[in-house]
Each structure stands twice: as structure tokens, then as C-alpha cells.
Amino acid sequence: MRLEPTSERLIVDSYQHSAENYLIYLFHIATYNFAKQYIEGKWVFDFGCGSGYGTALVAGSCAKIIGVDIAPEAIGYARDHYQSVNLNYRTVKPVEIEPLPFANATFDTILSFQVIEHIRHVPSYLSEILRVLKSRGILLIATPDRTSRLFRFQKPWNRWHVKEYDRKELSRILVPSFRTVALFEMGGSEEVLAIELARTKKLKWFSLPVTLPWTPEVVRVGCLSVIKSLLRRVSNKQSSSPLHFGFDESALVIAPTVENSVNLIAVAQKDDSGTGES
């Protein structure tokens, strides 16, 4: 199955042609590698697996892993390109519409990377995660850190994002539902992070007229779609061959606090009672 790359669905080969895209790819790889310490020998659920590259990357560390996505074409691509005896993929409906097709307390660890910013009804999302997570199970959430991407008052310039979070906001929505919540930030070398900070600064300013707090959603999304189309025409002029950029994942760091955080990672543990309430 052929899958069109988008800013929300990472296809590895399509992210090797510019330093900006390659760095985004490394952010994803670093997040999945960070997760390996929480999944060794576990039953794992990758909630929002996209094209499946990350699910496959960590499959060797798991007893069993299931990747799900709401896009059938993404799941089809994952099945075609990433296979393992302990790895399965499945299409699901949005949790606001239909519960996850798994029994209560099925998984030891749940990964949900670059998903929560797309969710319109976060309580439904967290409720289903808690339901299928075992007692004392671990949830890992990764999401963009809005502090390096947006003005304090600004709506997301990514047309698919409903809400982007800072550290305080992410903690506030997780703490009531989980026994413990530890927050980490992703940063890196000044030279490499400058690529991402320059990209987001450009988009922050360029999109400002249509991402003000009072901008109707239909206007925001419509205008950002036009902007994205214009930017895609520019990006299509980039090299069609994979390039080498002189840096790799080792340029990135994940720690409790970093300078110029670009992503947040939450590690939350469900309590013993199975309800999530402490």
C-alpha cells in the first residue's frame, strides 16, 4: 500500500531530504528509544502508531506489541512494511466515537506519541487508556512543547492540532488520573536545535494572523491548509535523494529539564486499584 507523507504521518524515506525533516525524524526515533526502558518483556500498545516504523523499532524489546491508528491507509502501510512475529496492527475508531477494541487491563505499557494534541475530548482518551492499562501499568505520552512553538496566546499553526501543551498544562490533565506522573523534556545541542527553533519561529510568525485566540476554527484550518500547500511547493524543490546532515540522534537529550525544550514526554503510572485515582 502506498501512503502519502504528511506532517502528521511520518514515512521514514520522506524525511531524509532536508535537515528540518530529518531532525523531526530523529525526534521520533529518540522518543521510541527512550521508551525501551519501560517495555522490556511487556505487553505493549502503541496508540496512534501511524506508518508503524516506531512500533517496529521497539518490537524487539517487547513480549508483544499492537499498533493502532484511525487511518486504514496508515495501518495498511505498516502491515506491508514492518512485520514481526510479536507485532500486530489494527485500525480503530476515534475514542470519542467508539471504545478501544481491547479488554480491561490488557496492556503493561501504552505508548501514545504525538497524539494527545489531536484529541478533541481528552477525558475519553484518558479513560480508555486507563481501562485497557493494567494496574500499575505505565503510560508514555509525547507531545510538542508549545513554549518553543507558539506565543502564549496563540492557537496551533499545525492545522491538525486541536491543542498544544506546555509542561504545566500536560501535568494538570494527567495528575488527577494517575498514581505518579514524571515529566521530561527533549532538547539537544545548540547547533542542531537551532534548525527546529528557526523552523517553528518562521511558522509561528507566518501563521499569526490566522491563529489568534478569536479566530474561528473553520477559518484557522482553511487558511493553514492554503499555507501548507504553498510551503509544500517550496519543499518539493528540495533534493529527491537522501542527504547526510552531519548529526544523528546522539545530538538529542531527554531529561527532566532542558534548555529550549521542543517536546514533552510524560511517564505516568496507573495506581493499584485499577481506577487511576490515588
Q: Residue 185 and residue 174: Cα distance in Å, rounded?
A: 16
Quote the CA–CA distance of 32 and 62 in Å, as a whole number: 12
Q: Which three cell numbers stand for residue 258?
A: 532542558
**What's phi and psi for 46, nearest 5 deg?**
-100, 100
Kindly indicate the confidence band of residue 6, based on its pLDDT and cuts at 50, 70 and 90. very low
Instruction: State the pLDDT at residue 1.
Output: 46
25 vs 260: CA distance, rounded Å: 18
- β-strands 180-188, 252-255: how paired? antiparallel
pLDDT in tens, 182-225: 999 999 999 999 999 999 999 999 999 999 999 999 999 999 99
Task: Say which residue the cell 524489546 belongs to.
Answer: 61
- 107-113 and 43-47 as β-strands: parallel, antiparallel, unpaired? parallel
**What pLDDT, on a 0 to 100 scale, did the predictor assign at position 73?**
92
Q: Is the pLDDT of residue 237 over 60?
A: no
pLDDT at 5 over 60: no
Buried b (16+ CB within 10 A) or exposed e, 85-99: eebbbeebeebeeee
Per CATH, is 12-269 categorized as 3.40.50.150? yes
Q: Residue 111 forms beta bridges with which residues?
A: 46, 140
What's the one-letter identity of residue 11?
A: I
Q: Could you tell me which residue, 241 or 223, shows the higher pLDDT?
A: 223
The sign one gets for the Cα dihedral 219, 220, 221, 223 is positive
Contact indicator for 30, 193 with CB cutoff of 8 Å:
no
Q: Is 200 helix (H, G, I), strand (E, B) or coil?
A: helix
**Residue 228: pLDDT band by 50, 70, 90 thresholds?**
confident
The full set of domain ranges for the chain reads 12-269
Strand, helix or coil at 239?
coil
Residue 241, pLDDT above cutoff 80: no
